[in-house]
Amino acid sequence: MSDQLPQGATIGILGGGQLGRMLSVAASRLGLRTHVFEPGANPPAGHVADAVTTASYEDHDALAEFAASVDVITYEFENIPTAALDVLQELRPIRPGREALRVSQDRLTEKTFLTDLGLRTAPFADITDADSLAAALEVIGTPAILKTRRFGYDGKGQARILGPEDAAKALEDMRGAPAILEGFVEFSCEVSVIAARSADGSVACFDPGENIHREGILRTTTVPARLSGKQRTDAVLLAAQILNALNYVGVMGVELFVTPQGLLVNEMAPRVHNSGHWTQNGCTIDQFEQHIRAVANWPLGDGSRYADVQMENLIGDDLDRLPELAREADTAIHLYGKGAVKAGRKMGHVNRIIRG
Amino acid sequence: MSDQLPQGATIGILGGGQLGRMLSVAASRLGLRTHVFEPGANPPAGHVADAVTTASYEDHDALAEFAASVDVITYEFENIPTAALDVLQELRPIRPGREALRVSQDRLTEKTFLTDLGLRTAPFADITDADSLAAALEVIGTPAILKTRRFGYDGKGQARILGPEDAAKALEDMRGAPAILEGFVEFSCEVSVIAARSADGSVACFDPGENIHREGILRTTTVPARLSGKQRTDAVLLAAQILNALNYVGVMGVELFVTPQGLLVNEMAPRVHNSGHWTQNGCTIDQFEQHIRAVANWPLGDGSRYADVQMENLIGDDLDRLPELAREADTAIHLYGKGAVKAGRKMGHVNRIIRG
């Protein structure tokens, strides 16, 4: 591609957490610099970025200055305020584009987008008040789960409804935010497809990984996932369909439920994804570099898997296990350099190579 | 180890080139920050370091401020002025230690150290003037090579002597610097052992790689090297002997000639080494992380090799091949973000996985 970003060019990254940190490292492998925009102090990505802007997403001067200093803008999280995007896109390309953000910032829009594509999801309904919730519960049944349409992650902004008697309390938990009711799905396992699409429309998917969550937080991802050949193909084709429909450029994480009736889409994240961290030690080109390649107009790399891997998140005081983890054979440690250990906080992860 | 460097601690790195750059990346995986000290502007390591000090090694105030801001000091090159080390070691530990620097900064001291250990090297002699050169050429014969004792790298400060008639010109090329005459060795191949030693005395070696040089610059390293089982064992034991003798902490590159009479030590470098770059895509823990682990008082990691790899340096306008390289299967690109392409300048390298 003639406009492949050259040596020394700078990628702007919105968000300075661990994903931005690992994106910065991947960019450095391609001779690129990164400039991180992050409201919080001492962002993990700042330790390995060439520059950091500490400012709020409401500070439009800071946003404009940031944009002017970079060649292209990407992000590590999807909940970027629309007004900030308006400022940025006047100055520099944002990849992946606005449409992916619009769709994935709202659970209702996302579910509607997916079903319009002919893909299957859990049953869902738009909830605006007690009446619409009662009506939806009639159709969807219980157990079900009420979620805010926007700004949810790692199980936050969610309330389980085991029977109609839980409805009022669940609605109250939404604190007036627009919500969506989702039915429970019987699934044998949850898998993720980490898919990449380059500017020229090429799509490449990493081998699907199998996820285990606890308390709403991803604990482990294991490759290969327990999928039949057909399920594996279906998963990859389905992810490619989503990326193509959005004219997407970058890496996306697509979470799928495996059910007797086929694959259901649980969630899509328009960014590198925790369930793709195994690629750092299972592939020559990992998800972070694949994302940077796409965003920088490089051809996608070779993401074929060379090893079986289990990724385990290190959450909160899991970090106390570091001395033992550091001595484990076939184990790569990836820490995020976060100062304070807090319960539920992702502090790092390990990738264990599984020998046959 | 109780004094394993904790999350958020900072490693000071003397030198901001590509080795410092890749050391910074490795440190980030362990949750550590880096602070780079480099006299030159816009150092490649600066793009991924948490902090950069731009100052001369003669600026002792800057050195002291740098040392005070870090927890431990390491380096990416061996020719650090002694006076600078004197300032630094008063304030923070330097790993690897002074003894390794003293030995490797001077070719004569290094060769003497090695032969005192009972190891074999090419024949060598101390050259101080025309008379000592003539006498040495009588014993060592021609062809031979005259080298400055200090500050040589990538073929600089060297002059070949094909016959006695070349002696005067060769000596002139040394510009009065103390020199060493080395005899030529008939060898079937050159291999490198990248060896690591932790503070508790554990030693781990990566699988030896086979090197090809052109015009005095490393072009490729291939693993596995063409060595017999006995040669492989000898190479590793010999490297371990060197590290133990120096009470060494960190990674060292040891270059060996394979001859019919056994292994000869060509050179030792008290740092991560170009011939160890293949470990980035052939091992779960690469040479850069192994060095950081040792320096940070972590246990050494699992450096066992999982793939056959060929590392190829990208030198000067080799960078023009980037569009094709980016499309190669099984190929990982590592660029250094250097602004100006110059003939003979190392711009990056690729690691190619060799499928059987």
Alpha carbons B177 and A83: distance in angstroms, whole number: 65
Q: What is the pLDDT of residues B102-144, one digit of tens each?
A: 999 999 999 999 999 999 999 999 999 999 999 999 999 999 9
A353 closest CB neighbour out of B284, B335, B353:
B284
Q: Give the model's pLDDT for residue B151.
A: 75
Q: What is the pLDDT of residues B196-215, one digit of tens each?
A: 999 999 999 999 999 999 98
Binding site of B, by residue number, is 107, 147, 152-158, 182-185, 190, 213, 266-267
Closest among A6, A8, A34, A5 to A22, alpha carbons compared: A34
Q: Give the model's pLDDT for residue A123.
A: 96
Alpha carbons B295 and B74: distance in angstroms, whole number: 7
Q: Do B339 and A302 touch (CB under 8 A)?
A: no
A281 closest CB neighbour out of B284, B319, B347:
B284
- Chain A residues within 8 A of B329 when measuring between CB atoms: 302, 304
Q: Which CATH architecture best describes the domain B189-354?
A: 2-Layer Sandwich (3.30)
Q: What is the pLDDT of residues B212-226, one digit of tens each?
A: 999 889 999 999 999
Nearest-CA distance B294 → chain A (Å): 12
What is residue B274's three-state secondary structure? Answer: helix
Kind of pairing between the strands at A209-214 and A203-205: unpaired
A123-183 has the same fold as A10-94: no
Q: Does A307 touch chain B (CB under 8 A)?
A: yes
Kind of pairing between the strands at B10-14 and B33-38: parallel
Q: What is the pLDDT of residues B152-181, one digit of tens each?
A: 655 678 999 999 899 999 999 998 899 999
What residues contact B344, with CB distance under 8 A and at least 6 apart?
Answer: B154, B215, B217, B315, B316
pLDDT > 70: percent of chain B: 98
Q: Does B288 touch chain A (CB under 8 A)?
A: no
Is A316 annotated in a binding site? The answer is no
Assign B98 a pLDDT band (cuts: 50, 70, 90).
Answer: very high
Nearest-CA distance A174 → chain B (Å): 36
- Chain A residues within 8 A of B298 when measuring between CB atoms: 326
Mean pLDDT for chain A overall: 95
Protein fold of B10-94: Rossmann fold (3.40.50)
Residues 210-229 of B with CB under 8 A from A: none
Q: Give the model's pLDDT for residue B1.
A: 44
Nearest-CA distance B318 → chain A (Å): 13
Q: Which CATH architecture best describes the domain A123-183?
A: 2-Layer Sandwich (3.30)
A299 closest CB neighbour out of B1, B304, B327:
B327
- Chain A residues within 8 A of B353 when measuring between CB atoms: 284, 306
Q: Do A339 and B7 touch (CB under 8 A)?
A: yes
What residues contact A197, with CB distance under 8 A and at least 6 apart?
Answer: A203, A204, A240, A243, A244, A248, A249, A250, A252, A294
What is residue B134's three-state secondary structure? Answer: helix
Domain ranges of chain A: 10-94, 123-183, 189-354
Interval A207-224 mean pLDDT: 96
Residues 184-213 of A with CB under 8 A from B: none
B203 torsion bin: left (phi>0), alpha (psi -120 to 50), beta (else): beta
